[in-house]
C-alpha cells in the first residue's frame, strides 16, 4: 500500500480497488478479526486487485514517469563485455522471436522466482534459506465484497489418525467484482513438502468449506495456478558485475507470511535510489561503491527480520508446534495482535507502542542474513 501511494497510483474504489479493514484468522475452532494497526509509517487499510490488473496499473504509472515499455520481448540471457561484466541483455522480440540485443550501463533483474538472468551469471539459489509453494484459483462467489482478508491456519494433508498439519495457510480474498481469489501456501520446513499434491490439497480444503460460498468447479473462472515463493534472500549477492536483483529474483519474499509483491516494490525502490547515486558518478570504484551500498541497505532494512523469519519457518515445520499455535493462539487476542504485527512486518521504526519496540528490538538483535 505504501509503495503504491509513493508511486502516485490512484487507489480509490472508483479506480477498481476494494478496500479492506484487516485480517480475519480462523483456526482451532476460533475466529478472530484483527484490524490493520494504526501506525505513522503505514496506511491502516489494505486493497485487493487481480494481479494482472495490478501489474498493468504499475506499468502504466512507470510510462507516465518516462519509462519505455516493451512487450512481446523475452530476455534469454546476459550480454557480457570482455571482462565478464553485464552490459545488457539478449532477447527474442515479437511474434517472430527476432534475436535482439539491448545495452545499458546497468541491468536490473526483476525476472521472478526463476532468476534466469542471475543464474546465467552464476548467482544461484541458496539451499539454506526457506522456500514455499503457493497455488490459487479465482471463483465467482458471494464472498466477493468481504471487507477483511481471511486466513485459515489449519491445512491438513490426508485424513484419519495419520493426517499431517502443514506449515502454511489458506486464504480467501474478495475482489469486489463478483469473484474471490482463493488459495494456499506451504513452507518447505515440513517433511511433507516434497510429497504434497498442492492442487489436490486446495481441492480438499475447499471441499470442506460451506457450499454456498461457491468454491466449486462449476464456479471457477480459470485454472489452478501456482508457483514458488523464494524467501529470506535465498539468492545472493544482490549486486554483482553491473546487475542488481530485486523482488523474487533476489528471494525477497517474507518468510513469515509468503508476501512478495510489497517486497518486490520496496527492493525495487531501494535499487532505484542506489542506481541514481551510482550513475551520477563516473564508471569505476566510486560507482561500484554506490551499487554495493544497495546490498548494505537490504541487509540493514530486512536482514535481521528475515533471520527471525527463518527461525519461525523451522519452528512451525514441527507439526506439534504448528498444532499448539493454531489451537491455542487465537484464544489470546492481544497475543494475536502482536503476531499480526510481527508476521506482517507492520511496526513504526521509531517510537510506536510496546509491541513495536519489542519487535524492533528483536529485529536489531538478530544477525542479518
The pLDDT of residue 46: 95
Mind listing the pLDDT tens digit for each residue in 197-238?
Answer: 999 999 999 999 999 999 999 999 999 999 999 999 999 999
pLDDT at 32 over 90: yes
Mind listing the pLDDT tens digit for each residue in 290-315?
Answer: 999 999 999 999 999 999 999 999 99
Tell me the percentage of the chain whose pLDDT exceeds 90: 83
Q: Report, as an integer, the average pLDDT of 136-144.
A: 97
pLDDT at 334 over 80: yes
**Residue 322 or residue 224, greater confidence:** 224
The pLDDT of residue 189: 87
Contact criterion met (CB below 8 Å) for 193 and 185: no
Mind listing the pLDDT tens digit for each residue in 97-134?
Answer: 999 999 999 999 999 999 999 999 999 999 999 999 99
Distance separating alpha carbons of residues 140 and 150, to the nearest angstrom: 16
Q: Report, as an integer, the average pLDDT of 335-362.
A: 90
Q: For residue 148, is it left (φ>0), alpha (ψ between -120 and 50) or beta? A: beta
The residue written with cell numbers 510510462 in the block is 63
- As a whole number, the mean pLDDT across the chain is 93
Q: Report, as an integer, the average pLDDT of 55-83.
A: 95
The correct answer on CATH 3.40.1190.20 for the domain covering 19-35+129-228 is no
The pLDDT of residue 193: 80
Mind listing the pLDDT tens digit for each residue in 174-194?
Answer: 999 999 999 999 998 877 788
Distance separating alpha carbons of residues 130 and 314, to the nearest angstrom: 9
Q: Report, as an integer, the average pLDDT of 69-95.
A: 95
The residue written with cell numbers 465467482 in the block is 140
Domains in the chain: boundaries: 19-35+129-228
The pLDDT of residue 191: 78
pLDDT at 148 over 80: yes
Residue 170 pLDDT class (50, 70, 90 cuts):
very high
- 3-class DSSP state of 80: strand
Residue 271 pLDDT class (50, 70, 90 cuts):
very high
In the chain, DSSP assigns E strands to 18-20, 22-27, 30-35, 46-48, 73-80, 86-93, 98-103, 107-109, 131-140, 148-152, 156-157, 164-165, 168-174, 179-187, 225-230, 239-240, 243-245
Amino acid at each position: 500500500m505504501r509503495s503504491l501511494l509513493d508511486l502516485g497510483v490512484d487507489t480509490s474504489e472508483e479506480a477498481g480497488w476494494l478496500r479492506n479493514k484487516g485480517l480475519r484468522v480462523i483456526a482451532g475452532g476460533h475466529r478472530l478479526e484483527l484490524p490493520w494497526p494504526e501506525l505513522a509509517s503505514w496506511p491502516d487499510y489494505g486493497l485487493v486487485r487481480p494481479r494482472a490488473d495490478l501489474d498493468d496499473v504499475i506499468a502504466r504509472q512507470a510510462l507516465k514517469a518516462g519509462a519505455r515499455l516493451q512487450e512481446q520481448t523475452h530476455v534469454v540471457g546476459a550480454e557480457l563485455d570482455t571482462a565478464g561484466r553485464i552490459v545488457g541483455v539478449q532477447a527474442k522480440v515479437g511474434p517472430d522471436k527476432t534475436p535482439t540485443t539491448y545495452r545499458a550501463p546497468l541491468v536490473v533483474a526483476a525476472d521472478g522466482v526463476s532468476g534466469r538472468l542471475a543464474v546465467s551469471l552464476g548467482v544461484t539459489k541458496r539451499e539454506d534459506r526457506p522456500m514455499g509453494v503457493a497455488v490459487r484459483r479465482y471463483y465467482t462467489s458471494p464472498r466477493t465484497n468481504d471487507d477483511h482478508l481471511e486466513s485459515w491456519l489449519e491445512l491438513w494433508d490426508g485424513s484419519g489418525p495419520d493426517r499431517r498439519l502443514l506449515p502454511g495457510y489458506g486464504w480467501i480474498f474478495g475482489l469486489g467484482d463478483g469473484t474471490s481469489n482463493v488459495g494456499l501456501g506451504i513452507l518447505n520446513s515440513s517433511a511433507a513438502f516434497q510429497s504434497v499434491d498442492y492442487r489436490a490439497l486446495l481441492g480438499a480444503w475447499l471441499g470442506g468449506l460451506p457450499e454456498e460460498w461457491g468454491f466449486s468447479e462449476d464456479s471457477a473462472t480459470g485454472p489452478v495456478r501456482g508457483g514458488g515463493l523464494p524467501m529470506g534472500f535465498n539468492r545472493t549477492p544482490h549486486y554483482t558485475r553491473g546487475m542488481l536483483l530485486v523482488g523474487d529474483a533476489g528471494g525477497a519474499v517474507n518468510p513469515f507470511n509468503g508476501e512478495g509483491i510489497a517486497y518486490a516494490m520496496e527492493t525495487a525502490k531501494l535499487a532505484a535510489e542506489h542506481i541514481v547515486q551510482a550513475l551520477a558518478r563516473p564508471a569505476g570504484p566510486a560507482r561500484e561503491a554506490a551499487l554495493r551500498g544497495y546490498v548494505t541497505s537490504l541487509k540493514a532494512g530486512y536482514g535481521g527480520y528475515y533471520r527471525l523469519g527463518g527461525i519461525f519457518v523451522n519452528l512451525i515445520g514441527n507439526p506439534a508446534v504448528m498444532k499448539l499455535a493454531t489451537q491455542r493462539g487465537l484464544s489470546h487476542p492481544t497475543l494475536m495482535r502482536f503476531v499480526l504485527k510481527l508476521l506482517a512486518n507492520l511496526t513504526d521504526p521509531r517510537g510506536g507502542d510496546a509491541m513495536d519496540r519489542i519487535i524492533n528490538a528483536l529485529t536489531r538483535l538478530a544477525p542479518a542474513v
